[in-house]
Amino acid sequence: MVTLQRRELEDLQRSGLARAPFLTLRSTEDKELDGLSALIKEAQFDPFTRQYKHLDLLQFDTSKEISVTMPLTFVGRAKGLELGGMMEVIKREITITCLAKDLPHKIEVDVSSLELGTSFKVRNISLGENVRIEDDADSALVAITLPSAAEPKAVAVTEEVVPEEVAAPAE
């Protein structure tokens, strides 16, 4: 078991590096841990204080490629939204493979150029030549669509309803 100092974790969280690609462990007490590289696999937070409660670390060899599922951050305001479109997020994460040193801190998808009826596909992400995206290149990540209430719907007439004649009341 590895114990980390709460203050160091809080500093990580405040600096925005909580999603850092990897950590290098330093230990003066356990020489086997000193210098090991690890990814933050999962972080558990206290729901009220937002302080770290538990971290799962994943040790890896820095000379070998690793596959990691990373969240996508959508930035910008799509042009199609000005025309009444709606942004539909289809995928919120992708899987990439690379050496740890090439692992991006975050993956941003700029949607500002998307028009009504267009989408941003996996193939449009550029992460550099040393990072391989494992997802299907033709998969859409986000699309600008018409809201479903605005889409015209065809109504088929199946039969005509004729009101029955009502008899006049007896005098």
The predicted pLDDT at position 114 comes to 95
Rounded Cα gap, residues 142 and 81, in angstroms: 13
Instruction: Find, among 84, 95, 96, the residue nearest to 147 by Cα.
Output: 84
Instruction: Find, among 125, 132, 126, the residue nearest to 66 by Cα.
Output: 132
Instruction: Find, among 143, 134, 96, the residue nearest to 115 by Cα.
Output: 143
Per-residue pLDDT for 5 more than 60? yes
Cβ pair 112, 79 in contact under 8 A: yes
pLDDT tens per residue, range 68-78? 888 999 999 99
pLDDT tens per residue, range 29-73? 778 877 788 877 777 888 898 777 887 887 888 889 988 888 999
Using the Cα atoms of residue 129, residue 17, residue 90 and residue 120 in order, give the sign of their dihedral. negative
The predicted pLDDT at position 155 comes to 47
Rounded Cα gap, residues 171 and 74, in angstroms: 76
Q: Domain map of the chain by residue range?
A: 6-60, 66-146
Cβ pair 98, 130 in contact under 8 A: yes
pLDDT tens per residue, range 123-160? 999 998 999 999 999 999 999 998 876 555 554 545 55
Backbone angles phi, psi at 140, to 5 degrees: -80, 140
The highest-level CATH class for domain 66-146 is mainly beta
Backbone angles phi, psi at 93, to 5 degrees: -155, 155
